[in-house]
Amino acid sequence: MRIASPTYSRRDRKRADMPLNVKPLAAVTAAILAFGTLSCSGPGGTATVAAIPTPTPIVTASPGATPSPTPVPTATPVPTATPTAAPGTLTASVPSLTFTNTGTNCGPTGSSSCAQTFTATDPNYAGQLNAASSNAAVATVSPAQGGGPSATFTVTPVGAGTATITVTDSNGQSAVVSVTVSTTPITVQSRKAKGN
């Protein structure tokens, strides 16, 4: 609340209004606050002091955008892992193969075919097993690939010497079969004709 400036009216027309100094100010202020106005009369006129109420501020809500609800993220389901057995060790059914001839009747038991087989096994492995010969002039292997976890390969002797058949998987494992091919020399005897 503030106090209006008092005015003093005089009969003298030259000075119709002029500020009035009132003392003590604290007493005057208390009286105005208690009664709302204070009037003083004297030989020169009447002075009135009124309290001007301080206006109460009016709070007006300013229109704004309606807040949109914050979306709550939906949790992405985590797929359940299917346990996969770790692949085992890649092995060959035999460590080595020996051939005494090439062609026919050269197997270890005098079989009609010189080819011999072995099996490569990699437990819990379903990929390709690859086989290769280190020296195709000594021995070849077929097929070049077989499906895991187990595949059978055929080794055929070609010429005298040594070679290795290596089987690998996609896990970086390998199994090796040593191959030795020896040929039996054939002795050709000639007959002398009689009379020579």
Quickly count: other Cβ atoms within 10 Å of residue 153's Cβ. Answer: 22
User: Are residue 42 and residue 116 in the same domain, yes or no?
Assistant: no
User: Are residue 45 and residue 98 in the same domain, yes or no?
Assistant: no
pLDDT at 169 over 80: yes
User: Are residue 159 and residue 100 in the same domain, yes or no?
Assistant: yes
User: Are residue 177 and residue 119 in the same domain, yes or no?
Assistant: yes
User: Are residue 99 and residue 20 in the same domain, yes or no?
Assistant: no
User: Are residue 45 and residue 112 in the same domain, yes or no?
Assistant: no
User: Looking at residue 111, which CATH number applies to its domain?
Assistant: 2.60.40.10
Give the containing element (helix H, strand E) for 26: helix 25-35
Please compute the mean of the pLDDT values over residues 116-125 and round it to a whole number. 94
Which of 84-93, 102-111, 150-159 is predicted least confidently? 102-111
Please compute the mean of the pLDDT values over residues 129-147 and round it to a whole number. 96
Q: Which two tokens stand for residue 141?
A: 């292997």
Sequence-ordered list of residues with C-beta below 8 angstroms from that of 153, at least 6 positions apart, any chain: 117, 118, 119, 120, 131, 141, 142, 143, 146, 165, 167
Within a domain: 149: yes
Mean pLDDT of the chain: 76
pLDDT value at residue 65: 62
d(CA 126, CA 84): 11
Within a domain: 97: yes
Query: pLDDT band at residue 10, thresholds of 50, 70 and 90?
Result: very low
The residue type at 126: A
Range of the domain at 31: 2-52
pLDDT at 88 over 60: yes
Within a domain: 71: no
Question: Looking at the 3D structure of the chain, how many domains does it have?
Answer: 2
* CA separation, residue 66 to residues 6, 61, 63, 71, 184 (Å): 51, 13, 9, 15, 100
CA 46 to mean position of chain CA atoms: 91
User: Are residue 100 and residue 157 in the same domain, yes or no?
Assistant: yes
Which of 11-25, 70-84, 168-182 is predicted least confidently? 11-25
pLDDT value at residue 16: 46
Query: pLDDT band at residue 147, thresholds of 50, 70 and 90?
Result: very high
Nearest Cα to 139, choosing from 97, 173, 109?
A: 97
